[in-house]
Amino acid sequence: MAQTGTARRSKDKLPAPDKISVGMTVNGAEARLNVSPWTTLLDALRDHLDLTGTKKGCDHGQCGACTVLVDGRRVNSCLTLAVMKDGADIVTIEGLAADKALHPLQQAFIDHDAFQCGYCTPGQICSAAGLIAEGKAKSADEIRELMSGNICRCGAYTNIVAAIQQAMGQS
């Protein structure tokens, strides 16, 4: 009896691809990583650079817990391969504060108690920083719409919007 093409392929083991060298600027510091081609930006940040502020939530791009800024734009790092961001400028929650002073959004989240468990907070803050940089949100309704990709299971949405408004100078 002849083997089918599928049976033959499952017996033939292909070697894993070589690791790929990726360079990026992360929170203002140059980083060079050797990663497998399938390594997500989230895993590169957490596992290779020990930047664990960015959280792995759903791992499907639906919750926003993994949001970071890539070249100034909001990105779900769980859906982005690290090799796709060779040469990019990445900012995580750890990189928002400057000169030992909290970023205005970080302070506003504290001022408005815009977190409960805190798990979504790094992604919420990074997303809000991107939202403010985009300059599209002018009202609370627009903030809610543009932040809709970031889920808070604790339901702190009212306080999150108030914090973003404060950081935007609208409070």
**CA 102 to CA 98: how far, in whole Å?**
7
**CA 111 to CA 109: how far, in whole Å?**
6
26, β-bridge pairs:
29, 90
| pLDDT tens digits in sequence order for the chain, 171 residues long | 555 555 555 567 888 789 999 999 999 999 999 999 999 999 999 999 999 999 999 999 999 999 999 999 999 999 999 999 999 999 999 999 998 899 999 999 999 999 999 999 999 999 999 999 999 999 999 999 999 999 999 999 999 999 999 999 965
The neighbour count for residue 83, using CB atoms within 10 Å, is 19
**CA 131 to CA 20: how far, in whole Å?**
32
**CA 54 to CA 35: how far, in whole Å?**
18
Total-model pTM: 0.89
What is the token pair recorded at 151?
A: 């889920």
**CA 158 to CA 144: how far, in whole Å?**
9
Cβ proximity of 103 and 95 under 8 Å: no
Please report the pLDDT score of residue 8 as a whole number. 54
